[in-house]
Structure 1
Amino acid sequence: MYLQRLKLASYIKYGSDVCRSVKSTAMLRRCVRRGLSMQPEYSAFNKNMPHTLKLQNGEKIESTFSKAEMSGRISKLRKLMETENINGVLFTSYHNVNYYSDYMYCNFGRPYGLVVTQDKVVTISAKVNGAYPWRKTVGDNIIYTDWHRDNYYRAVYQELGEIKGKVGCEFDHINLDSFKKLQTALPASTVVDIGHSAMYLRTVKSNEEIALIKEGARIADIGGGAIIEALAEGVGEHEIALHAVQTMVKEIAKSRPNIALQDTWSWFQSGHFNSENCHNPVTSRKVKKGDICVMNCFPMMAGYYSALERNVFLDHVSDDHLRVWEANCKVFETGKELIKPGAKCKDVAHGMNEVYKSYDLLQYRSFGYGHSFGVLSHYYGREAALEFREDIDTVLEPNMVMSLEPMIALPETHPAAGGYREHDVIVVTEDGSETITHFPYGPEHMVIKK
């Protein structure tokens, strides 16, 4: 008991800005129990160092999108906040922070955020990033330091602590520990979920977003050409993938000279084991003639993802593989016919299922038939309400952008063992759909003889 009192006394003596705003000892105890660190300063030096600061070094970087585009996004969010009676928002995910601020953070074990109220837009970043977040953010920026534990939540309090009522956050992104600290940092507020509602705002793309995704699709096609260029017997998967990445990054730099060159990647998966899973990592396995392979090109611009994926065989394809490949291409083509405004995602999935059934291949299907595009990568994003799956009732609308990627994987005991996948990016239009990746596919084009 004595040690507990001594510990509490040290909190009172050296407590954070957050807990200094809490008047009662009982509330302070609750702060401590909830997990927000209120420990004394580690040294006199730390004690005198700032918790948060502003750093404006250089000039603002040209935004990826126009001022009208970015203000339009914030305006729609603020209308949502009014509808749901939410007085402030703290976004923490890559996709929402980037979507509303044009700043793509580098996590590296530290939390980041974006505060939106009816009168401000502010990113919260770690000091390790210097002034870059301010230069990149469409809005303001506040920096938290490492001099004291939980300074991130002091920054949150600084920007949202005066709000009474609801503060929205992303329940599908923050963990339990972070949620408890957020509650502690905002004792006058009720933390509610806004992640699900915000997702729906992102599902319909603006014309500027579609233009950027189309440019990414063009560059993905160039990456596909680079893969075919590098493909040869005895060449390692990693060498083929590296050539595609370098080619795409150079094209992005040429096309968008003011954009950050980060996160573009490629996978090349060869042989029936490596190709069976679309997310299998690149290896140093050397390609052999007759291998079933899957090429994957993913150019990234400003956090926006485009993709091209194709089956490819080197030199020749067996009769068994050819039959399955042709069937998968038929499913691919059927899906394109089904994508149109007014169609439900689940109906597209059911229609493609029927084609697989006719070939007795449905049991080999690997995952849903496609997903929404936009602020997305292999480690962030995903608009779960917009996927071609049997449990998704979402109705397609013009300016939704989705992948179509039917895949089946046959086991090693099957004479056509391996993974089969074709993948295009498709924009829903007023009267149908537009395929914006244009690389050839199927046996007529993708049996590569060298």
Structure 2
Amino acid sequence: MTARPEFYRFHNGEKARLQFAEAEYAARIDALRKRMGEAGAEAAVFTSMHNVSYYSGFTYCSFGRPYALVVTDTECVTISAGIDAGQPWRRCYGDNITYTDWQRDNYWRAICSVTGEGRKIGYESDHLTLLQKGKCEAFLKPAAMVDLYETTMRQRMHKSPAELDMIRAGAAVADVGGYAIRDAVKIGAREIDIAMAGRDAMELEIAKRFPDAEYRDTWVWFQSGINTDGAHNPVTSRALERGDILSLNTFPMISGYYTALERTMFAGEVDAESLRIWEANVGAHELGISLLQPGASCAEVTHKINAFFAERDLLQYRTFGYGHSFGVLSHYYGREAGLELREDIDTVLEPGMVISMEPMLTIAEGQPGAGGYREHDILIITEDGNENITGYPYGPEFNVVG
């Protein structure tokens, strides 16, 4: 009987057109190799979806299987499971090795075929599990383990011109979803039906703008009434009632890149106390946008918005930080934790960074103005200020609908 391979190359078909030109990925890998050298890593084994996607263009679907990108001074190789056949190779920059499941840990044998044994191995402390770290040490026998989490995060914070174009396009798609949702809002309509209208509009817009892409993961959270109290509450079949507070949240996913539009709305009418809170949150939103300037620190921006809310006796209703980075991320992977608008983040804003402004206040059920109020714009930090790439209007004048 023919021996079954531990791993092999299945380069099926032709390479697909990736979301960015090869020169973009080559530049990312060149910059990574410099960072690896500074950190003392001879080979990097990336296991997270965000770093594999950022450096190779391949966004994997794990489904319980491990994936990787291995980078050395000469090679850039994605490691994928046999269930995906040739798709990872077609959709990645560089080489690809497929590991088989006919023997446990062929994944690590495939990785070792690129790294070799006894080298200084870079890894991601925020992603590599204790189980897999133990296997890494057993199979690769590293001379040292070097954490690359921080340096790769810092690299991803600074967007290239090509990335900024992608993010601008994503923001425009999010706006398309927002307008579709606004048109679908009617008293008696269900959250799920309104959400689907926004999602379908965005999927079609993405396919029009990016005909060579793969399409997956675009979604909408449209919430009403008490369901607005959390920013990430899932869609339900609740029917809209007149006077309901509404939360519009559109999230297009384009080749691993996430963007977002989030708006407070009201169904048909808004009462006086709700309007007061809404307008205060809009004021914080506008203040925050004005503060996102090169040279400002995340903590500094946060404290100033805190002061704005405290003056209005609303700070106690804040539920999370005021914004975060954008780029290669989604609701189940990614995020540059060093670029969030929180009191404990001292990162200084620099041109080329992309960050949201999204203040949210949550008033408990049974209190006047109950519900969750949130506005969300995406800002590109420029040399002399910022560029707001979100176009859908915020505030009561446009968003009392239905």
Q: TM-score range by the shorter chain?
A: over 0.9
1:285 to 223, 235, 238: 238
Q: Which residue of 2 aligns with 1:244?
A: 198
Q: Which residue of 2 aligns with 1:403?
A: 356
1:353 to 271, 290, 306: 306
2:365 to 404, 412, 416: 412
Determine helix, strand or coil for the equivalent of 2:221.
strand
Determine helix, strand or coil for the equivalent of 1:219.
helix
Q: Which residue of 1 aligns with 2:29?
A: 74
Shift of 1:229: 1.1
2:156 to 191, 195, 202: 202
Aligned: 1:265 with 2:219? yes
2: CA distance, partners of 1:323 / 1:78: 53
Shift of 1:320: 0.7
Aligned: 1:171 with 2:133? no
Q: Which residue of 1 aligns with 2:137?
A: 183
Q: Which residue of 1 aligns with 2:8?
A: 53
Residues 55-109 of structure 1, C-alpha deviations (whole Å, 9 max, x = no match): 0111000121122211110011000111112100000001000000000000000
In the alignment, residue 154 of structure 1 is paired with which amino acid? R
Residues 202-237 of structure 1, C-alpha deviations (whole Å, 9 max, x = no match): 001001000000000001000000101111111111
Residues 404-444 of structure 1, C-alpha deviations (whole Å, 9 max, x = no match): 10001011131111000000110000000011011011011
1: CA distance, partners of 2:103 / 2:220: 40
Q: Which residue of 1 aligns with 2:85?
A: 130
1: CA distance, partners of 2:380 / 2:354: 4
In the alignment, residue 403 of structure 1 is paired with which amino acid? S
Shift of 1:375: 0.2
How many residue pairs end up in the alignment? 402
**Is the 2:16–2:90 contact (alpha carbons within 8 Å) kept by the matching residues of 1?**
yes
Determine helix, strand or coil for the equivalent of 1:210.
helix
1: CA distance, partners of 2:15 / 2:266: 48
Aligned: 1:233 with 2:199? no
**Is the 1:161–1:188 contact (alpha carbons within 8 Å) kept by the matching residues of 2?**
no
Identity percentage over the alignment? Answer: 51
Q: Which residue of 2 aligns with 1:193?
A: 147
Change (3 A) 1:340 1:188: closer
Aligned: 1:95 with 2:50? yes
Shift of 1:183: 0.5
Shift of 1:306: 0.7
Residues 382-410 of structure 1, C-alpha deviations (whole Å, 9 max, x = no match): 10000100101000000100111000101
2: CA distance, partners of 1:413 / 1:252: 41
Q: Which residue of 2 aligns with 1:105?
A: 60
Matched ranges for 1:10-25 at <5 A: none
Q: Which has the higher contact order (CA 8 A, sep 6+)?
A: 2
**Is the 1:298–1:308 contact (alpha carbons within 8 Å) kept by the matching residues of 2?**
yes
1: CA distance, partners of 2:12 / 2:116: 27
1: CA distance, partners of 2:184 / 2:53: 34
1: CA distance, partners of 2:18 / 2:218: 19
In the alignment, residue 429 of structure 1 is paired with which amino acid? T
Shift of 1:188: 4.1
Give TM-score scaled by structure 1 length.
0.88
Aligned: 1:294 with 2:247? yes
2:293 to 327, 333, 340: 340
1: CA distance, partners of 2:228 / 2:389: 25
Segment drifting more, 153-162 vs 307-316: 153-162
**Is the 1:134–1:141 contact (alpha carbons within 8 Å) kept by the matching residues of 2?**
yes
Q: Which residue of 2 aligns with 1:322?
A: 275
Shift of 1:189: 3.1
Q: Which residue of 2 aligns with 1:223?
A: 177
In the alignment, residue 295 of structure 1 is paired with which amino acid? L
Q: Give ranges in structure 1 of 5+ residues lacking alignment.
A: 1-44
Determine helix, strand or coil for the equivalent of 1:104.
coil
Shift of 1:349: 0.4
Segment drifting more, 185-194 vs 137-146: 185-194
1: CA distance, partners of 2:141 / 2:386: 49
Q: Which residue of 2 aligns with 1:144?
A: 99
2: CA distance, partners of 1:401 / 1:108: 30
2: CA distance, partners of 1:75 / 1:259: 25
**Is the 2:218–2:253 contact (alpha carbons within 8 Å) kept by the matching residues of 1?**
yes
Q: Which residue of 2 aligns with 1:364?
A: 317
In the alignment, residue 266 of structure 1 is paired with which amino acid? V
**Is the 1:183–1:190 contact (alpha carbons within 8 Å) kept by the matching residues of 2?**
no
Shift of 1:161: 2.1
Greater C-alpha radius of gyration: 1
Give TM-score scaled by structure 2 length.
0.99
In the alignment, residue 338 of structure 2 is paired with which amino acid? A
2: CA distance, partners of 1:303 / 1:80: 23
**Is the 1:161–1:185 contact (alpha carbons within 8 Å) kept by the matching residues of 2?**
no
**Is the 2:258–2:330 contact (alpha carbons within 8 Å) kept by the matching residues of 1?**
yes
Determine helix, strand or coil for the equivalent of 1:251.
helix
Shift of 1:324: 0.3
In the alignment, residue 225 of structure 1 is paired with which amino acid? Y
